[in-house]
Amino acid sequence: MYNAFVMSRSQEILNQAPVYHVTLDEFVPEILHSGLKSRHRSRHIPTLRYRMYSLQIRITDELFDLVARKEGIGFRRMHSVYAEPTPDMPISSNDSILQVMVDPRAVLVAPSMELNMAMIALFEKVSPAEFYKRANLYWKTAITLEDYLKNQGKTFSLPEVMIPSPVKPHSISIYRR
Pairing of strands 172-174, 108-111: unpaired
Distance CA 94, CA 102 (A): 25
- So what's the pLDDT on residue 30? 92
pTM: 0.83
Residue 166 is given by DSSP the state: P
DSSP-derived secondary structure for 104-169: TTS-EEEEHHHHHHHHHHHHTT--HHHHHHHHHHHHHH-EEHHHHHHTTT-S-SSEEEEEESPB-G
Alpha helices in 2-111 (DSSP H): 2-14, 28-34, 48-70
Q: pLDDT (tens digit, 9 = 90+) per residue, 127-147?
A: 889 999 999 999 999 999 999
What is the average per-residue pLDDT within 51-80? Answer: 87
